[in-house]
Structure 1
């Protein structure tokens, strides 16, 4: 069991959730303040997407990321900032022209996907390590795109959090590590229960965990009602924990949550199991961010 887990709070995500729970932060100020509050509640890392302030829909506008990061940094919070670099790979085939992206598509090149990472230089950013079916669409990131993104992330002095949604993504990550595009120790996030990727089962998480490099630092999460069962499983298997409104909108059945509530419940869960969550400075040591 991991007795000093890093708790990551995934603040808002890119899902169509802003109208389902009023606590989902939308504006840059709301997102930043939610990250700061999550840190005070016990999270060491804030994983951040941005949204269009007018519509609540997902965005990858650099100026929105800039506003969030500046607000957090100016606040003096010691939370570790983890920006997504996963936007720009959504492809929904047009019904009449299947080789053309239809409504809901958002495709961008590798450099465009990491432009805000190069500019803002967060301590961590995500690297979704492969293509996959994703609900009713496809997420596309080719091996060469991943090589370009990994190289750009490394050049920026940022640590990638390798998000894996199925077995092939671990294989791809190992290839990037072998090509020295990702430095040791690699950081992995095991993403469970996203349709139609790795299912949210103990066996699936164990299988993914067992394929990781020996020196890997890893965390795992499940979405929806699986958030806390898989936070517990990750902890018991030696990993770290992720909670937050990106992955789950409820504290328990019928009770809407906010990010502070979810982090507090993760802290309580860790305490019940005999673990003490890592502070941001301790998390930096674990992740090799001070090197």
Structure 2
């Protein structure tokens, strides 16, 4: 198989704000490191990590000591001025939302506007620290902002997009084929996309991505169940299930080294 067509699996290790009853995610730093390493061994090429404040460099360094998984630093809801420690830790990638946060979780309401001025600052900051942006796409308006940055020559291809479905709140979008293909139609050329879907509809959207040259993000933050009503033992079980599904559908799994070449990240 062409290595450029292999599936990149991202594991997201954070807690679920919509399924707080699951409680199957790592809590301590040691648990987080173990979870990331086991997920990598199960087939995850990227680890989406909410770096604990005050421990950003420690977590990045400890993960790199144990495996070569691509480290993607999350928490795009934080304003850029609160993320300097993230840049100082120098992960491989950083999550950046392309419009705004408006989520309605079980116990938390999240509202945060991210302006185009902030997006421009992110482009310059990522370039300075040699960090690959992970652009979070919540609707087609997100893509308007990405094209705005492209036209200003502030970002370099390939563009790595994480495209979200069924996250509750004002940024919600339906987890169905119509929405999937509408968004895909407007992805800029030279884009690489991965899907993030909350809820049991994840399997449907993941299959579409696997069959249409996309990639998949799974884990306790998005859907901490192995199937509806059955809580996963841990992220390893979730990643293993997705890797098996991809192989059943005819796509092998990318290693971190192969994923770096696809995404455009230096080893």
Q: Same fold (TM over 0.5)?
A: yes
**CA distances 1:41-63 after superposition (whole Å, capped 9, x unpaired):** 01100001145xxxxxxxxx2x2
Q: Which residue of 1 aligns with 2:263?
A: 287
Provide the alpha-carbon RMSD of the alignment: 1.8
Q: For residue 263 of structure 1, what is the aligned residue in structure 2?
A: 239
Give the match for residue 93 of structure 1: none
Structure 2 unaligned regions, length at least 5: none
Change (3 A) 1:177 1:269: same
Q: How does 1:153-164 map to 2 (within 5 A)?
A: 153-164=126-137
Q: Deviations over 1:254-276 (max 9, x none)?
A: 21111001100001100110110
Checking the alignment, whether the CA contact within 8 Å between 1:29 and 1:67 is kept in structure 2 is no
After superposition, the Cα gap between the structure-2 partners of 1:49 and 1:13, relative to the gap in structure 1 and judged at 3 Å, is farther
* Structure 1 portions without partners, runs of 5+: 52-60, 89-107
2:21 corresponds to which residue?
A: 20
Deviation for aligned residue 1:143: 1.0
**Aligned residue for 1:98?**
none
Give the drift of 1:111: 2.7
Displacement of 1:124: 1.0
Q: Does 1:30 align with 2:31?
A: yes
Tell which structure's C-alpha radius of gyration is larger: 1
The number of residues matched between the two structures is 257
| Alignment correspondent of 1:111 | 81
Structure-2 residue corresponding to 1:74: 65
CA distance in 2, matches of 1:235, 1:132: 27
Corresponding residue to 1:184 among 130, 134, 157: 157
Q: How does 1:57-206 map to 2 (within 5 A)?
A: 61=53, 63-75=54-66, 77-88=67-78, 108=79, 110-113=80-83, 115-135=84-104, 136-195=109-168, 196=170, 197-206=172-181
Distance, in Å, in 2 between the alignment partners of 1:14 and 1:179 is: 36
Distance in 2 between the 1:111 and 1:288 partners? 26
Distance in structure 1 (CA, Å) of the matches to 2:210 and 2:178: 15
Tell me the TM-score normalized by structure 2. 0.90
Distance in 2, Cα, partners of 1:133 & 1:21? 23
